[in-house]
Amino acid sequence: MKVLQQKLSNRESVSVSETGQREQEEALEKRRLDSLRYAFGEKVMEGLADSDVVEVILNDDGSLWFEKFGSMAKVGRIEKEDAWVILSQVASALPDNEPLTRQNPFVEGELPLDGSRFQGVAPPVTEFPIFAIRKKASRVYTLDEYVRAQILSFAQAERLREAIAAKKNVLVGGGTGSGKTTFCNALLHEMSVLCPDVRMILIEDTRELQSALANKVFLRSTQWTSMDRIAGAVNRLRPDRVSVGEVRFGGPCLALLKLWNTGHPGGMATVHANNAYSCLTRVDQLIQEVSANPQRLLIGEAVNIVVFLKRSGPPRGRHVEEILSVEGYDALAEKYIVEAVL
């Protein structure tokens, strides 16, 4: 009986200890987030709270800008000392970021406040600390909403739905701020409606993709674990489809194409490019960073649909400028075989 009482007493002690430790960790996290909010100041926090603001930017002259409804507006300024505090606080709040120093003047990662993507640069690379905060989408838009907003035609939306149902691999391209990730999220939403039983693996360096699929896994690269290393492990995780937030480097790009072309079709990825066709040449350029042999035949086989988004001035704003169906690569003509979709 005494032994049993001692065991119960020990369990209670451990439980109380764990509860106390958890409360301490929660209190520490609250203080850390409060410090971050205080460092950002009222105006930056206003931008983060405003659902219409897409990006919050600090320039090297101290001017603070909001991007809203496709256009930039100057909303205030931040003094140099305060900008230093912001970058330092963010650097200390990001688990994978090294301390901010002259030898390491970059701060990048997801803000613990809301998951927004933060990119900061400090002297000596700039004279004045700067940053750009790309806010995480507060909601996922549907293709029907894109059609109503005249960003996408009804016929284009139907063709994309057909592509998703047919397990076509979709590459979404465009310039900075063209809405690539937001559009990719719309396609992922359609997938959850059309193919609800799919198991999806999503690979990113910053958490931006959103999926309503019940059977999904998010994998994120870190300072120590590259995206191509993660992609190499995906085969054993039993995916039906694989998507990547953004292909920026050759290793992950080549790994993704091989996954798409070896029994895991129907995924999505985004890439920076100037037009629809150049999305394919951009992928080729990235792969050449890591492969001595061109992989154009692989690109022509693995990429089935290219969607190009363009950011124009008012009144049109962001819109789908072109959709290409990729039918392969013609080695003799040295060009991709493509057909414009609607």
What pTM was estimated for this model as a whole?
0.81
Do 100 and 192 belong to one domain? no
Q: What is the pLDDT of residue 23?
A: 78
Q: What is the pLDDT of residue 2?
A: 62
Q: Which of 83, 104, 134 delimits the end of a domain? A: 134
Do 255 and 333 belong to one domain? yes
CATH number of the structural domain spanning residue 16: 3.30.450.90
Do 41 and 105 belong to one domain? yes
Range of the domain at 178: 143-340
Do 163 and 180 belong to one domain? yes
For 253-257, the CB contacts below 8 A with 24+ separation are 253/283, 253/286, 253/287, 254/228, 254/287, 254/290, 254/291, 254/295, 255/227, 255/228, 255/231, 256/203, 256/231, 257/283, 257/287, 257/295, 257/298, 257/299, 257/302, 257/303
Do 118 and 160 belong to one domain? no
Do 95 and 150 belong to one domain? no
Q: What is the pLDDT of residue 203?
A: 92
Do 258 and 316 belong to one domain? yes
CATH number of the structural domain spanning residue 235: 3.40.50.300
The rounded Cα 204 to chain-centroid distance in angstroms is 6
Strand partners, 216: 200
Q: Which of 134, 169, 196 delimits the end of a domain? A: 134
Do 100 and 172 belong to one domain? no
Give me the tens of pLDDT residue by residue for the chain, a chain 342 residues long: 666 566 556 666 556 567 777 877 777 778 888 999 999 999 999 999 998 898 999 999 999 999 987 788 999 999 999 999 999 999 988 877 778 888 999 998 889 888 899 999 999 999 999 999 998 877 889 999 999 999 999 999 999 999 999 999 999 999 988 889 999 999 999 999 999 999 999 998 888 899 999 999 999 887 778 777 887 788 889 999 999 988 888 888 998 999 999 889 999 999 999 999 999 999 999 999 998 888 999 999 999 999 999 987 665 678 999 999 999 999 999 999 999 987
Q: What is the pLDDT of residue 201?
A: 94
Do 182 and 289 belong to one domain? yes
Within 8 A by CB and 6+ apart from 34, the residues are none
Rg (CA), the chain: 23
Q: Let me know: does 265 contact 169? Beta carbons within 8 Å.
A: yes
Q: Which DSSP string corresponds to 146-185? A: HHHTTSS-HHHHHHHHHHHHTT--EEEEESTTS-HHHHHH
Do 118 and 211 belong to one domain? no
Q: Which of 134, 164, 186 delimits the end of a domain? A: 134
The rounded Cα 71 to chain-centroid distance in angstroms is 21
How far apart CA 66 and CA 285 sit, in angstroms, is 33
What single letter denotes the amino acid at residue 178? S
Q: What is the pLDDT of residue 223?
A: 73
The total number of structural domains that make up the chain: 2
Q: Let me know: does 310 contact 251? Beta carbons within 8 Å.
A: no
Eight-class DSSP state of 235 = G
Do 99 and 147 belong to one domain? no
Do 127 and 161 belong to one domain? no
